[in-house]
Structure 1
Amino acid sequence: MTGTFTPRWPVVIFDLDGTLADTVDLIVESYQHAFRTVLGREENPDIIRSWIGRPLSAAFRDHSPEHAELLYDTYLTWNSENTERLIRAYEGAREVLVALGEAGAKVGVATSKRRESAQQAMDLLGLTPHISALVGLEDTEVHKPEPTPLLLALQRLGHSDPSRAAYVGDAVVDVLAGKAAGMATVAVTWGAGVRANLEKVRPDGIASTTAELHDLLLAPAVS
Structure 2
Amino acid sequence: MNSAPPRVVLFDLDGTLADTVPLIVETFRRTVSDALGWEPSPEQCKEWIGRSLADTFGGLAPDRADDLIARYLEWNLANHHAYVRPFDGVTGLVERLRDAGRTFGVVTSKRRSSAEVSLECVGLAGRIPLLATEDDTTTHKPAPEPLLHALRQVGADAGDAVYVGDAVVDLQAAQAAGMRSIGVTWGAGTEADLRAVGPTAVVHSVAELRTLLGL
8 Å CA contact retained: 2:8, 2:156: no
8 Å CA contact retained: 1:100, 1:218: no
Match of 2:213 in 1: 217
Trace 1:177-192 onto structure 2 (pairs within 5 A): 177-192=173-188
8 Å CA contact retained: 2:162, 2:179: yes
- Superposition deviation, residue 21 in structure 1: 0.7
Look up the equivalent residue of 1:161 and give its one-letter code: D
8 Å CA contact retained: 2:85, 2:121: no
CA distance in 2, matches of 1:91, 1:160: 29
Q: Work out the number of aligned pairs and report it.
A: 212
CA distance in 2, matches of 1:87, 1:53: 16
- Superposition deviation, residue 130 in structure 1: 2.7
CA distance in 1, matches of 2:29, 2:37: 10
CA distance in 2, matches of 1:124, 1:48: 22
Q: Does 1:200 align with 2:184?
A: no
Trace 1:73-112 onto structure 2 (pairs within 5 A): 73-112=70-109
Extract structure 1 runs of 4+ deviating beyond 6 A: none
- Superposition deviation, residue 40 in structure 1: 3.0
- For normalisation by structure 2, the TM-score amounts to 0.94
Q: Does 1:12 align with 2:9?
A: yes
Q: Does 1:135 align with 2:107?
A: no
CA distance in 1, matches of 2:79, 2:132: 23
Trace 1:20-59 onto structure 2 (pairs within 5 A): 20-59=17-56
The Cα offsets for residues 62-89 of structure 1, whole Å up to 9 and x where unpaired, read as: 1122322221111110001001111011
Q: Percent identity?
A: 44
8 Å CA contact retained: 2:159, 2:180: yes
8 Å CA contact retained: 2:183, 2:202: yes
8 Å CA contact retained: 2:23, 2:83: yes
Give 3-state SS (helix, strand or coil) of 2:44's partner: helix
Look up the equivalent residue of 1:90 and give its one-letter code: F
Look up the equivalent residue of 2:67 and give its one-letter code: L
**Range moving further from structure 2, 76-85 or 92-101:** 92-101
8 Å CA contact retained: 2:9, 2:164: yes
- For normalisation by structure 1, the TM-score amounts to 0.91
CA distance in 2, matches of 1:20, 1:214: 13
Listed as ranges, the gaps of 5+ residues in structure 1 are 1-6
Look up the equivalent residue of 1:78 and give its one-letter code: W
CA distance in 1, matches of 2:126, 2:100: 15
Q: 2:158 aligns with which of 157, 162, 165?
A: 162
8 Å CA contact retained: 1:166, 1:178: yes
8 Å CA contact retained: 1:107, 1:130: no
Match of 1:120 in 2: 117
